[in-house]
Amino acid sequence: MDVLKLDSGYDAAFVEAVMNESGQDPFACYQCGNCTAGCPYTFVYDLPVHQIMRLLQAGHKGRILQSHSLWLCATCESCTTRCPNNIDVARIMDVLRHMAGREGMITEKQVKQFNDSFLDSVKKHGRVFEFGTLVKYIARSGRFWSDADLGPKVMRKGKIAPRPHDIKGKDEVARIFHSVLGDGKK
């Protein structure tokens, strides 16, 4: 594991922004490690979640926003539920991910591409069209589909709808996309 150097590079504006956007006080964290102990994703994290909390206290923006952990957190709410100081850690993780996204620091491209494909479908139809999402993701990521074996299973059983369900209010939904996120930004 990396030894964290915390003595330099405090970014006060960053810490304040995280506090404002999450409504949480990271300084309430006393590094007990409960969050990490219960986090099912620690095995794939480059920074365990309690270290992200420590780096946040130390204002190390760059190191945090570059981490893969932000894009692998599943918002399972284990950390939030188990933090003895009632910090909504999952919400902090979500806010850090928003910031990383806004700054274009996307360390798990495929995760982002999948999410974008999902949202494109919602924007277009008002509801997600799972089949279309998959097709779009495969095109976007340029990846060989590692789930090709599932295709026949899903098709044979009629487990995936072959056509989208467009709703009447789909323009209203698309307007939410434009109005909150602005055009083209996700």
Partner 1 sequence: MSPELSYAYYPGCSGLSTSKDYEISTRAVCRALGIKLQEIPDWSCCGSTPAHTVDHVFSAALSARNLSLAEQMGSDTVITPCPSCLTNLKVAAHRMEQEPAFQQEVNRHLQEPCVNTVQVKSVLQALIQDLGPEAIAKQVEKPLSGLKIAPYYGCIMNRPPEVMDFDDPENPVAMDEILRGLGAEVLPYPLKVECCGASYGVARKDVVMQLSGKLLDLADSLGADAIATACPLCQMNLDLRQDQINAALKRSFRLPVFYYTQLMGLAFGLEEKDLLLNKLNVPAGPALAKMQQAAEAAAEQDAQTKEQ
The residues of the shown chain that bind ligand SF4, judged by CB under 6 A, are: 29-35, 38-39, 41, 49-50, 53, 73-79, 83-85, 87, 89-90, 93
Structure tokens at 180: 């909150």
In angstroms, rounded to a whole number, what is the distance separating the alpha carbons of residues 122 and 130? 10
Options 7-15, 25-33, 56-64, 173-181: segment touching partner 1 (CB under 8 A): 173-181
User: Which of partner 1, ligand SF4, none does residue 33 bind to, with CB < 5 to 8 Å depending on kind?
Assistant: ligand SF4
Does 137 engage in binding with partner 1 (CB under 8 A)? yes
User: At which residue do the structure tokens 């899903």 appear?
Assistant: 154
The nearer residue to ligand SF4, 44 or 161, going by C-beta atoms, is: 44
The nearer residue to partner 1, 139 or 150, going by C-beta atoms, is: 150
Among candidates 33, 41, 87, which has minimal Cα distance to 67?
Answer: 41
Helix, strand, coil % in the chain, rounded to nearest 5? 60, 0, 40
What's the min distance (Å) between Cβ of 40 and partner 1? 4
Does 127 engage in binding with partner 1 (CB under 8 A)? yes
In angstroms, rounded to a whole number, what is the distance separating the alpha carbons of residues 132 and 118? 9
**Residue choice 113, 144, 155, 184 for contact with partner 1 (CB under 8 A):** 113
In angstroms, rounded to a whole number, what is the distance separating the alpha carbons of residues 75 and 17? 20
Q: Report phi then psi at 56, rounded to 5.
A: -65, -45
Among candidates 82, 88, 138, 89, which has minimal Cα distance to 113?
Answer: 138
Please classify residue 57 by burial: count the beta carbons closer than 10 Å to its beta carbon, then call 0-12 exposed, 13-18 middle and 19+ buried: middle
The nearer residue to ligand SF4, 55 or 134, going by C-beta atoms, is: 55
Does 40 engage in binding with partner 1 (CB under 8 A)? yes
User: Which positions touch partner 1 (CB under 8 A)?
Assistant: 23, 40-41, 43-44, 72, 74-78, 80-81, 88, 90, 94-95, 97-98, 101, 108, 110-111, 113-116, 118-119, 122, 126-131, 134, 137, 141, 146-147, 149-150, 153-154, 157-161, 165, 167-170, 172-173, 175-177, 179-181, 186
